[in-house]
Structure 1
Amino acid sequence: MEFDIVGPEAIRDGRATDAYFDRTETTLRHAERNPHVVAEITADQFPDGEYELLAGVKDVAALLEGRNVDVDAIPSGRLFDGGPVMRIEGDYLEFARLETSILGFLSHASGVATTALDVRRAAPDSLVLSFGARHVHPSIAAMIERSALIAGLDGFSHVAGGEVLGRDAGGTMPHALVICFGRGKQEAAWQAFDEAVGEDVPRVALCDTYSDETDEALRAATALGDRLDSVRLDTTGSRRGDFRHIVKEVRWTLDAHGREDVDVFVSGGLGPENLRALRDVADGFGVGGYVSNADPVDFALDLVEVDGELAAKRGKLTGAKSVYRTPDGGHHVGLRGRDGPEGGEPLLEPLLRDGEVVDGVELGIDAAAERAARDAERCAYGAE
């Protein structure tokens, strides 16, 4: 039996589409009608003060490459708030049936990147890793991890996702490993792990499987000695009580026994509020469902010009637009060709010309992450 996965060929060929685009293409070809259009992709028409982080641009560029279109886009890793994040110009049938995939690429990745930025800003000085791939269909794991990295998270757990991205996945041990050695034999599990894995793997002992977190943390420090890098607390919610107190108690106990060198890493059902509450007592976090289960951004693609004439459906703004970052970190939307705000930075940049990626366009993860960090500071994203 095959997995229920729509493959890359179907996406590139335009078969990963909504049926009404099939009908539209059939109708327009029958009518010998294929106008030159300007299409814009937007979530909100006007700024409302709620920034979101753009991701997915690389995949859209890959899909539209080789097609006779010009594309301008806000680069991945920049914050947006109203107006277009992407503009496509060309004959409509050149890209009409690709709309479903284009919106999917941008909507889902931007939603994940935005929630990842939430947790990044909640603990800006802590190690934060993406642990959420287990909550989504495995075919999109690389998108989850890429979006998390764009937002500034420090790493991720999914092996195949890392292979796609050219990055190494991280991780140590699950409760299942400890349980396989039996109750009361946690030391045997920690020591076997230390003996088995490569020297490049951090020695992080999971310390909440059978016993009190403080007890297991001290036992792990004794069993592994100076080889222990961190302990991880992944305590089930029903057993946590005052989790901040538990983390502080573990830290105190390790310090009291001369193990200030051992970090405390926390995971399990965490979100921004948890990170803000624990960032001064924990050294790092693994965040799962809050990031991976993000709601997609509700992007839409609308025609705003047809054969040089202004056009838009009711409720949408007609005409091609420009968007700007204002000197105070705000967001401004205006008609293309009109003067922008004084000192405003245009956000839409050339992405494709005649179906070819423009020279100098940087679609990599590191460049996007740098943009996200700069924009978050400039726009005071997540400021308390």
Structure 2
Amino acid sequence: MFDIVPESAIVEGRATDAYFLRTEEALEHAGRNPEVVAEVTADQFATGAFEVFAGVKDAANLLAGYDVDVDALPEGTLFDGGPVMRIEGPYLEFCRLETSLLGFLSHASGIATAALEARRAAPDSSVLSFGARHVHPSIATVVERNALLAGLDGFSHVAAGDQLGRTASGTMPHALMICFGPGNQEDAWRAFDEAVDEDIPRIALCDTYDDEADEAIRAAELGFDSVRLDTTGSRRGDFRHIIRETRWELDAEGHEDVDIFVSGGITPETIRQLRDVADGFGVGSYISNADPVDFALDIVEIEGEPAAKKGKLSGKKSVYRTPDGGHHVALADEPGPTDGESLFEPLVRDGEVVAEFDLDAAIDRAAADARRVGFRATE
């Protein structure tokens, strides 16, 4: 019914670029299937521009059942160069999996990195992922899981929540308000309050018809503990001024405890501009439509000997986190830096997934790594 590649095609290696199937045909015809070491990298050397490594669980499940050994950075690790994953085994075991493997890692890592930028822009504020509507619904869980990995407080997609075992966030859209019509905002808010489970936060949307401050006061008088401003860009003007005015009028009417939540075109830059006047943020397309990390997979060793194409660093490598937060890359048979922490961990052994995937542990790792390497620390 939908234009979605079936899961079976991914598992079987049909979700691939055609030239990998041609490569299989040529190697099998020639009777060649060398033992190789292949590495996934974005940059060969450290750049200082850190990104979040994500998509590891899906990558591991893809490689499960194949005669390979795989090591990788743990999910949530920040990196700025060098390999993030190493695959060892007969090349024909994983040749056709490259396209899907890179897709799993590239897209998830880009989303997680963008979400971490939003998180770091307002460490003490509530930040939610509202971007599932901007992507194909088949990858909504990818978006929301990696938003959580980066430390966001929640997300809006119900089916993703079902898969992740977490409850989706969100209260009301403008459509609810419009269904009741101009001047009837109180009727819409009351209907919501009376119908929706009491565990759902009482956040009233307050910018549909009238002045934001006026609607916010009216919602607060009905007992709502928060308001959301999602003013259309064409009508917004100075959004910071609108928020400050709303805060002022709420306080003047004795509603100091009513929080202001904002959404609509929010980016890390706007979060930094508004974090002193808003209590929370809904971030959409900045996260869901983040550019994928440009990973590539390259053979770096063949039959025990260093080998690589031009522009790639040959030889099997290890990666380390140094005490000063640096990301160090070295040949695997050379000693690592003094007091350096080796980052590669076993992911797959003889085709069996040996790593555990704990989302909460990955969330803690990303947060700790962000502090350690100073991710967006000066912004």
TM bin, normalised by shorter chain, reads over 0.9
Please give the alpha-carbon distance, in whole angstroms, between the structure 1 residues aligned to 2:356 and 2:24. Answer: 33
Q: Does 1:304 align with 2:303?
A: no
One-letter identity of the residue aligned with 2:170: G
Please give the alpha-carbon distance, in whole angstroms, between the structure 2 residues aligned to 1:20 and 1:99. Answer: 11
State the Cα distance separating 1:362 from its structure 2 match: 3.0
Gaps of 5+ in 1: none
Please give the alpha-carbon distance, in whole angstroms, between the structure 2 residues aligned to 1:133 and 1:270. Answer: 14
Please give the alpha-carbon distance, in whole angstroms, between the structure 1 residues aligned to 2:225 and 2:89. Answer: 56
| TM-score, normalised relative to structure 1 | 0.97
Q: SS of the residue aligned with 2:299?
A: strand
1:363 to 357, 364, 378: 357
Q: Does 1:88 align with 2:87?
A: yes
Alignment of 1:13-32 (within 5 A): 13-32=12-31
1:349 to 345, 351, 357: 345
Please give the alpha-carbon distance, in whole angstroms, between the structure 2 residues aligned to 1:26 and 1:208. Answer: 61
State the Cα distance separating 1:367 from its structure 2 match: 0.9
State the Cα distance separating 1:332 from its structure 2 match: 0.9
Q: SS of the residue aligned with 2:297?
A: strand
Partner of 2:253: 257
One-letter identity of the residue aligned with 2:252: A
Residue deviations 1:340-360, cap 9 Å, x none?
1111111111111111122xx
Alignment of 1:223-242 (within 5 A): 224-225=222-223, 228-242=224-238
Partner of 2:332: 336
Structure 1 runs of 4+ aligned residues shifted over 3 Å read: none
Gaps of 5+ in 2: none
Please give the alpha-carbon distance, in whole angstroms, between the structure 2 residues aligned to 1:194 and 1:268. Answer: 24
Partner of 1:372: 366
1:280 to 276, 281, 288: 276
Q: Does 1:295 align with 2:294?
A: no
Please give the alpha-carbon distance, in whole angstroms, between the structure 2 residues aligned to 1:134 and 1:380. Answer: 32
State the Cα distance separating 1:253 from its structure 2 match: 1.3
One-letter identity of the residue aligned with 1:303: I
Q: Does 1:319 align with 2:315?
A: yes
Over the matched positions of the two proteins, sequence identity in percent amounts to 73
Alignment of 1:192-231 (within 5 A): 192-222=191-221, 224-225=222-223, 228-231=224-227
State the Cα distance separating 1:28 from its structure 2 match: 1.0
Partner of 2:264: 268
Residue-pair matches, total: 378
Partner of 2:186: 187
Residue deviations 1:333-382, cap 9 Å, x none?
11002011111111111111111122xx3312111100000000000101
Please give the alpha-carbon distance, in whole angstroms, between the structure 2 residues aligned to 1:374 and 1:176. Answer: 40
Alignment of 1:57-206 (within 5 A): 57-206=56-205
Q: SS of the residue aligned with 2:171?
A: coil
Please give the alpha-carbon distance, in whole angstroms, between the structure 2 residues aligned to 1:308 and 1:328. Answer: 33
Residue deviations 1:22-67, cap 9 Å, x none?
1011111111111111000000000011100010000001111121
Q: SS of the residue aligned with 1:259?
A: coil
Residue deviations 1:241-268, cap 9 Å, x none?
1111111111111112111221100000
State the Cα distance separating 1:232 from its structure 2 match: 0.1
